[in-house]
Chain A
């Protein structure tokens, strides 16, 4: 199968890129491991930042400040200046953003923002955007390849030119390639490495990041993971920031408020972790808001508390913890969103590190990024002049051999599901909100042991068709690769910056005002720090 532009991932970034590339006349295929719209974008509630002309510079400054020295003013400038046109583009697709009583588009404050600029569509902003993008894709005859699990990018070993990717067709079990003049990786973040301790949906295993690094690309800043302060204690289901924005309290098991609830997410998360580390429980208390107000303001949360914790938030305290929510690090890209170390390959959205969020992300900027940068990625990919798309490449046969080996040679003497759960737990407790040298080294040693044991893990289900046991296993393999980079970055960044907090180095140290850079040489992970441009 061949096309002009291959887009991997069908969340907001992938679909925006697809629409722009198609509009510019390119033939587009969107490959997704699930169905279009089954992406984390649908879970984004808060809103979409768009700045008026008077507000653009302040929006840029807010984003830069939040990035704690690791944001690129050029990229942030680009995003903020296109924010209003991106919002208008969505509105013109029929995404019904909420209106205020005057019939103007309603906006609200988000933590860390100087001005009101976050536009929302009820508490379903991401869902409505994603469904709207999908409808527009169908209208424009964009081709989807569903149930296609990304195995590897097809990159020329000499020139590093990317001419497609290999996929496992989950439905048939066949391994196939899709060739393209350029490729856009839009596969989402890696919060899923914290298995059991993330607000993200299943499958947020950093597949695209791992594949890019295997192909010779570079990843960066993976140690920066945003932890959301308020997720349900048992299930890690997100309780929106709006709960605190509307006046909810955080209390510990002594009934005492221990932090200003409206501080930035990383500070609130640290305060919560401190309480939990003292063996106290932490609760979100919204009882004083009253059931009528709650059903109007937080209808999704009301339902989720009932199902997952069996509590009524109007009458009960909500037991919570902070869990992995958004990953700032990812595939290192240049100002054209082209992947560093590769040619003809672009990355966009949460899987990428476009140096927009830096060490911490401003609320409302993630939906903005996937749309404005998604459109830019589509355009840049179309403008890329490829050299030789159909040049022979051995990736497909290598990947067939790998999958065959999993079926035939991997012994399955160790249950990888147990390891996945264990890894999530030790990552959360030692490479989570609060980190230190000893803990990080311990997890890294445990993780490298799992990498050594990988061929003793494997699959029990030997079917070819819809083998989700196999998919879970390959995802776990990717998670091991991505988590290794996260740990190496966290271990060597001997300072605290944004979301990365080291209790043994609690201060900001500008020796580390730099990006951690990761790549592979002969399959071995290499890392260094690179100055901020």
Chain B
């Protein structure tokens, strides 16, 4: 019973190697990391704090799927890697600053007065733990690294639902934002908190249209008709 962890150290040659470790049965993946570090190899580095799925720090890729290490029991042959679409700093630790800067770019915060009666509509969106699982599952990141990504947009949905001024954020999510999503739904599958960013993005598109924005994909579409001919 073994797991493989993709190790990375930019100061070593080769920088990246796969290492096998025994599974400590009955323990979560995070507890396995800790057992490895404290009893086998103190150089293994990873993040993990709360152990109970609310701090968002321990997300990794297991067999290509985003997983909270504290909420998963490893199986024989599991392949563990750092999160996709994040710069790897060392082993399983990634730099989340670029991903989290989308919260600033999208102006995801309350603007104007709060609309208390709408609080019930954002119960799930406000459960986000910033684990970046949705971000690391989003295929748009592979083609547009400036895409705002799912969690920032879900937050914008939350704040534009409960804030009287939605324009500030709606203006901020037109570029590399709502219209760049392919609505593939990978983020929704990835979220450990049951948030549905795809649905939130669809709703933000409606809000954008209500604010006078248009789907830029529609503007650019050429239907093969040239109405100027023949007139």
| A residues at B contact (CB < 8 Å) | 34-35, 37-40, 42-43, 91-99, 103, 121-122, 124, 127-128, 131-132, 135-136, 138-139, 146, 171, 201-203, 234-235, 237-238, 300, 303-304, 307-308, 310, 417-418, 421, 459-461, 463, 465-469
Cα(A202)–Cα(B50), bound, Å: 7
13 A-B residue pairs with CB within 8 Å: A37-B130, A38-B49, A43-B50, A91-B116, A94-B159, A97-B119, A124-B54, A135-B109, A139-B110, A203-B49, A417-B42, A469-B37, A469-B43
> Knowing that A131-B128, A139-B109 are A-B contacts, what are 14 other residue pairs whose CB atoms are under 8 Å apart, sorted by A's residue number?
A40-B50, A93-B110, A99-B116, A103-B116, A122-B123, A131-B129, A138-B108, A202-B48, A303-B71, A304-B52, A307-B28, A417-B39, A465-B11, A466-B93
User: B114: which of A92, A98, A131 is its contact (CB, 8 Å)?
Assistant: A92
Q: Is the interface of B mostly helix, strand, loop or mixed?
A: loop
A135-B108 contact, Cβ under 8 Å, with A40-B50, A42-B54, A96-B119? yes
Docked complex: B1-58 residues within 8 A CB-CB of A = 9, 11, 26, 28, 31, 37-39, 42-43, 45-57
A100 to B71, CA, bound (A): 31
Give per-residue flags for B76-117: 1 if the beta carbon is below 8 A from chain A beta carbons, else 0: 000000000000011101001100100110011110011011
Min C-beta distance of B209 to chain A, whole Å:
24
B148: Cβ under 8 A from any A Cβ: no
Given A96-B123, A466-B90, A459 and B42 contact (CB-CB distance below 8 Å) = yes
Q: Which of A37, A135, A307 contacts B55 (CB 8 A)?
A: A37
CB–CB B56/A135 < 8 A = no
Most chain A Cβ neighbours within 10 Å, of B54, B91, B93: B54
Q: Contacting B49 at CB < 8 Å: which of A91, A124, A201, A417?
A: A201
Could you tell me the distance in whole angstroms from the C-beta of A239 to the nearest C-beta in chain B? 10
Contact of B97 among A43, A121, A146, A469 (CB under 8 A): A146
Residues of A within 8 A of B119 (CB): 96-99
Contact for B110 among A40, A94, A171, A300, CB less than 8 A:
A94
CB neighbours of B126 from chain A (8 A):
95-96, 121, 124, 128, 131-132
Which residue of the partner chain, among B50, B71, B110, B127, contacts A124 with CB atoms under 8 Å? Answer: B127
| Interfacial chain A residues near B162, Cβ < 8 Å | 94, 96
- Is the beta-carbon distance between B71 and A34 smaller than 8 angstroms? no
CA distance A132 to B122 in the complex (A): 13
Are A99 and B120 in touch, CB under 8 angstroms? Answer: yes
B207 beta carbon closer than 8 Å to chain A: no
Inter-chain contacts of B205 with A (CB < 8 A): none
Alpha-carbon gap, A98 to B53, bound state (A) = 21
Cα of A303 to Cα of B51 in the assembled complex, Å: 12
By a CB distance below 8 angstroms, the chain B residues around A467 are 45
Q: Which residues of A contact B93 (CB under 8 A)?
A: 466
Pairwise interchain contact A300-B52, C-beta atoms closer than 8 A: yes
- Closest residue on chain B to residue A135 by CB atoms: B109
CB distance from B200 to the nearest CB of A (A): 15
